[in-house]
Amino acid sequence: MANHKSALKRIRSSEAKRVINRYQHKSTRTAIKKLKETEDKAEAEKQYPSVVSMIDKLAKKNIIHDNKAANLKSKLAKHVASL
């Protein structure tokens, strides 16, 4: 157990951040999966900007690596273009 007041606060704050990060990461993965399953090109083009925005936000907050974000966006762009 932590011995300092600041260490106790760090435990609380890091747990809160962990929960938020997990939620954002999971919702982004769900949005990516939904976009990949879309067969309609117009619908996919409509969803694409919001999914890319979610991916960029994860990369900005270091939840995912910048290169992973770039790979995901590239693959999604290719998928949307191929419909």
- Residue 2: other Cβ atoms inside 10 A: 10
Average pLDDT over residues 43-59: 96
Please answer whether residues 72 and 32 qualify as being in contact, where contact means their C-beta atoms are separated by less than 8 angstroms: yes
Mean pLDDT of the chain: 95
pLDDT-derived band at 76, boundaries 50, 70, 90: very high
**Residues, the chain:** 83
- Residue 63: other Cβ atoms inside 10 A: 18
Q: Is the pLDDT of residue 50 over 80?
A: yes
How many angstroms separate the CA atoms of 70 and 53, rounded?
12
Q: Is the pLDDT of residue 1 over 90?
A: no
> According to the model, what pLDDT value does residue 74 have?
97
Taking every pair of Cα atoms in the chain, the longest distance, rounded to a whole number of angstroms, is: 58
> According to the model, what pLDDT value does residue 72 have?
97
Strands (E), the chain: none
